[in-house]
Amino acid sequence: MSAKKKIAINTGGGDAPGLNAVIRAAVLSALNRGWEAYGIRKAYHGLLGEAEIVPLTRDSVRGITHLGGTILGTTNRGNPFAWPTKRPDGTIEKVDRSDEVVANFRSHGFDALIAIGGDGSLRIAHELSLKGIPVVGVPKTIDNDIEGTPLTFGFLTAVYVATDAIDRLHSTAQSHERVMVVEVMGRDTGWIALFAGVAGTADVILIPEIPYDLDKICQKVLERERLGRRFTIVVAAEGAYPAGGSPVFKDPDTQRLGGVCEVLVSQISQRTGKDARAIALRQLQRGGGPISYDRLLALRFGAAAVSCIEAGDFGCMVALDPPDIKSIPLAEAVSRQKRVPLDGDVLATARALGICMGD
Ligand code: F6P
């Protein structure tokens, strides 16, 4: 048995199906080595006295593998390097509280932190590791946009949810002879849109990696009409935008994307004369439990993170390297965003099937 360690675990950013499975695997892997495990609630809030730090026991992680969300809570508004703090006049300033995080981590006697998060949280984890915290990152996001791993857990569950929605929309679109525009998440990458769109046999798929031409979309709708197929399913990534234009933001201040389906519906119906409806799947894609592949990936990541700690491998992120799990430097993982490759086989498959990619 390795020297007894005290490890901390947190979950940051938007939730993703599989977070609880990572927590369970990490906790049991630690306890089975004779170590102690603690959960830092709400990303870094727990290390800043704004939420609790809780012991994680076998009881805490019993029966949670299949559950959505995270038992530790999460936030995408908790960067300790730019902590939103109210000034006396009520305005908000961003304050660097990272030294407090480091000091509190040390005062609790933790030997390592397992930071489960997407690109923002992994960037914070990387910066904390540069300040001396022994960190192991675990890549989480439905967007699948983390460099260095072909898959993040949560992604395939989101694809499953989106595919199911597209399947369901086929029958109503057909009955009403409508164009249905389905908006899926993914920030400025088109992984969910492409995978769910191909699996769900969409007619048009719009991804941020390929700025679209509205004429091409309308041509596809009208061509289907001529062939007697009086409905069209368009799957649009929330970050999709027209060539020469820009993405649609729900909230320009925070750069939160959303609303491209509404814009497309009004433009397509105006140009083609077809009845059209918009539907944005939004957080539905993140809710609920993980499909079995994501559960397994999450459990493997959790166990691998503890193996990294045991081996003294820090400042790293666990990553899928089929058929294995490996660790890569966090610096590499946060160096750039993983976007849909334009020469990839899923995109080639879409084109081979005659799906319009908006170009
Ligand atoms: O990164 C995950 C994600 O779901 C993105 O796909 C989406 O743009 C964003 O989070 C939405 O965040 P929120 O739930 O805070 O609106």
pLDDT band at 126 (very low <50, low <70, confident <90, very high): very high
Mutate to test the pocket of ligand 1, among 11, 75, 143, 337 (most ligand atoms within 8 A of CB): 143
* CA-nearest residue, atom 3 of ligand 1: 14
Mean pLDDT rounded to a whole number for the chain = 97
Give residue ranges with CB within 6 A of ligand 1. 14, 76, 118, 141-143, 185-187, 238, 256-257, 283, 286
Q: What is the pLDDT of residues 162-171, one digit of tens each?
A: 999 999 999 9
Q: Choose the catalytic residue: 15, 96, 111, 143.
A: 143
Specify the ligand 1 atom closest to the Cα of 142. 2
| Dihedral sign computed on CA atoms, order 282, 284, 290, 292 | negative
Q: What is the pLDDT of residues 211-258, one digit of tens each?
A: 999 999 999 999 999 999 999 999 999 999 999 999 999 988 888 999
Q: For residue 143, indicate whether it is catalytic.
A: yes
Q: What is the pLDDT of residues 309-339, one digit of tens each?
A: 999 999 999 999 999 999 999 999 999 999 9
Give Cβ neighbours of residue 339 (< 8 Å, ≥ 6 apart).
Answer: 145, 188, 189, 190, 208, 209
Within this chain, domains 6-153+290-333 and 157-286 share the same CATH topology: yes
Residue spans per domain, the chain: 6-153+290-333, 157-286
Rounded distance from Cα 251 to ligand 1 centre (Å):
12
Specify the ligand 1 atom closest to the Cα of 145. 1
Residue 151 and residue 175 in contact, taking contact as beta carbons nearer than 8 Å: no
Q: Which two tokens stand for residue 43?
A: 């990303």
Residue 78 pLDDT > 90: no
Give this prediction's pTM: 0.96
Rounded CA-CA distance 177/213 in Å is: 23
Q: What is the pLDDT of residues 157-193, one digit of tens each?
A: 999 999 999 999 999 999 999 999 999 999 999 999 9
Choosing among 3.40.50.460, 3.60.21.10, 3.20.20.480, 3.90.1150.10, the CATH entry for 157-286 is 3.40.50.460
Residue 257 and residue 239 in contact, taking contact as beta carbons nearer than 8 Å: yes
Q: What is the pLDDT of residues 265-312, one digit of tens each?
A: 999 999 999 999 999 999 999 999 999 999 999 999 999 999 999 999
CATH assignment, 6-153+290-333: 3.40.50.450
CA distances from 12 to 31, 137, 180, 181, 348 (A): 23, 11, 34, 31, 34
pLDDT for 2? 66
Residue 1 pLDDT > 60: no
Rounded distance from Cα 187 to ligand 1 centre (Å):
7
Specify the ligand 1 atom closest to the Cα of 187. 8
